[in-house]
Structure 1
Amino acid sequence: MKPNQISEHVDAIRQELNLTRGISPRIENVYEHDDSSLHLVTSDRSEKSLLLGPGGRVVAELAKRTERKITIYGTDEILLRRHRLRLTMSRIEEIALDLTDSQKIVVTWLKHLIEQELSYPENQIHYKSVIRKNLKIALAFSGGTDSTASTRILTESGFIPDAILVDLGHHFQNPVDIKLAEDWCFKQKVNLVRIGVVGASADLLERVDAGRIHPCGECHNKIMACIREYVIQTQCDVLVTGELLPSGRQSITLNEGLLIIHLPAALSLSKHRTETIAEESGKKLFRRKFGCNLVAKSHSKGWKNIGPSIFRVLRELEAGVLTTGQSLEYIKNIVQE
């Protein structure tokens, strides 16, 4: 479809909904992908806001009338995203001379993905490539949306990763969620490595019960320490995570011979993109929930722990990882727990 055809639909929808704020939003480009989805590019955030409409009503009706899945981008957010991708590229060049042969294979693949992402949404992303099947690569896996999407990108690209799930116990993760993660890995033929940590978190639990600490930072460090230990034991020199925030140069670290790639951040993916990739892989998406069981428990101790969780959501909103609607869902979940 052409921009003027979409604009005619949008003008009609806005009139029917009696939306008189602003002027008719300008649609600069329309890209159609292989799955028939439409990707609309507007001038900036203000134009995108009008095209979405209050509560997403305009774009929802547009999707209904065109019978297409529709995603909207502002030119300003595309420019920022491409800037971050180029920063990731610059980081690869910084460490190029210090990489092992297997790490060089991984970053060459990553550069190929970044080059594709630089032409998105004009062109659809294709992850398939030829990778040595015996190449060792580890993945920090929680079973959540972002680590699931990262796993999917790796397997679609030809890697056979070890998905490492650190099980800290029922205080942190629901057994049902663990089972869902196991089932997903089995269906995807992904090797799930489950590491149980017994008794190591008693002190953290006591401090959360007393309302003295927000658990996220310490818990994250504990999980990464367990994964690093496994990686060292298995002599793997590449670790991939599903982190979204440390974008650009911060998305890749090389420390004591271990290459860590925060894959969604390195590719400057949004939560919408990781949810889409995860859903396409067969993962069922339920209502958005912030954090693990222990984080939810910490919120009952008052603003001292609610504040840092909301701040995290706002950081992801500011970074363009979350939309305002997604952020509102997470904040509602935080304050209602």
Structure 2
Amino acid sequence: MNYEKIIEEEVNKKLKELRLKNSLELLEKLNIYKELKEALKNMLLKRLNGDKEFYKISIDKKPDAVVAFSGGVDSSTSTIIAKQIFNVKAVSCYSEYIMTEEMKKNVKKLVKKIGVDLEFIDINLKEVYEDTIKGRYHPCGRCHKIVESAVMNYAKENNVEFVIFGDLLAFGYLALYKDNEIFRFNLPSFFALTKNEERTILKNNGIELKMSYGCPLLKAYHKNNRGYKFTIQRILREVRGRVVDEEEGFKNIIDILELL
């Protein structure tokens, strides 16, 4: 009997339960549309009871929401879940430094398959790219802030109350909170999802994504500056947070070291 595996599974189970209960407590304190709150509560309770289709709840009056859509596992899963209870529009931030034309085509196909509208918004990453190539900093943090800001501004300009991100690690009060007049919803962390659980949801909806770790900007950073240590630290953070298992964490590290 593999006691180490049994203990690991039990720890993961308890941790997920704790995070879901935290989300329930958080939800009760928020002043949001009553039917939406009830739907989110029922989703959390179904997930606590082990229902793999916990998200299959619909409501009559759906509020508008924008999903920050990259075409990856996190944002695709977030969109599938969100469309059950929101009128969803996918917003994809475009820059030649983070998205090739082929990637752009794939995003369009994916959104069409999920069944929501899509809009691309241009972002300026020229300075980030130039500084990245020179090795002044790791690009992910600055790029992420620019993308977040662009999506939040889009929501504000279009009077959309909810913005949904695919963050897996924003636990506790950071999973759903009000930023000025907009609710910022880190959906996978709110439902304490792991990457493997997200893939199961995608598969059950006829979607299977296979891609290497990192965008073109990150790969350019590694090619010109090595800097693998900082990316590996980001990967290990997800492994320590138990949203990515050790096997996938190892595979992601191998992906970025292939440039050596």
TM-score calculated relative to the size of structure 2: 0.92
What is the CA distance between 1:133 and its match in structure 2? 5.2
What is the CA distance between 1:119 and its match in structure 2? 1.2
The answer to whether structure 1 residue 188 and structure 2 residue 131 are counterparts is: no
Q: Which residue is equivalent to 2:5?
A: 47
The answer to whether structure 1 residue 177 and structure 2 residue 99 are counterparts is: no
Distance in structure 2 (CA, Å) of the matches to 1:259 and 1:178: 28
Q: Give the 3 Å change call, closer, same or farther, for CA 180–133 of structure 1 in structure 2.
A: farther
8 Å Cα contact 1:251-1:262 kept in structure 2: yes
| 1:222-268 deviation per Cα after TM superposition (whole angstroms, max 9, x unaligned) | 11111111101111111111110112222112111211111100100
Q: Which has the higher contact order (CA 8 A, sep 6+)?
A: 2
Give me the identity figure in percent.
Answer: 24
The answer to whether structure 1 residue 214 and structure 2 residue 125 are counterparts is: no
Q: Give the 3 Å change call, closer, same or farther, for CA 107–216 of structure 1 in structure 2.
A: farther
What is the CA distance between 1:129 and its match in structure 2? 2.2
Q: Which residue is equivalent to 2:43?
A: 113
Match of 2:209 among 285, 310, 315: 285
Distance in structure 2 (CA, Å) of the matches to 1:193 and 1:334: 30
Q: Give the 3 Å change call, closer, same or farther, for CA 237–158 of structure 1 in structure 2.
A: closer
Distance in structure 1 (CA, Å) of the matches to 2:158 and 2:216: 30
8 Å Cα contact 1:133-1:160 kept in structure 2: no
Using the TM superposition, name which of 85-94 and 256-265 deviates more: 85-94
What is the CA distance between 1:202 and its match in structure 2? 1.6
8 Å Cα contact 1:90-1:249 kept in structure 2: no
Q: Which residue is equivalent to 1:85?
A: 20
Distance in structure 1 (CA, Å) of the matches to 2:94 and 2:224: 24
Root mean square deviation, CA, Å = 1.9
Q: Give the 3 Å change call, closer, same or farther, for CA 237–214 of structure 1 in structure 2.
A: same
Unaligned ranges ≥5, structure 2: none
Q: Give the 3 Å change call, closer, same or farther, for CA 180–280 of structure 1 in structure 2.
A: farther
Distance in structure 1 (CA, Å) of the matches to 2:163 and 2:207: 22
Distance in structure 1 (CA, Å) of the matches to 2:213 and 2:37: 32
Q: Which residue is equivalent to 1:5?
A: none
Q: Which has the higher Rg, Structure 1 or Structure 2?
A: 1
Using the TM superposition, name which of 230-239 and 73-82 deviates more: 73-82
Q: Which residue is equivalent to 1:28?
A: none
Unaligned ranges ≥5, structure 1: 1-23, 26-43, 50-72
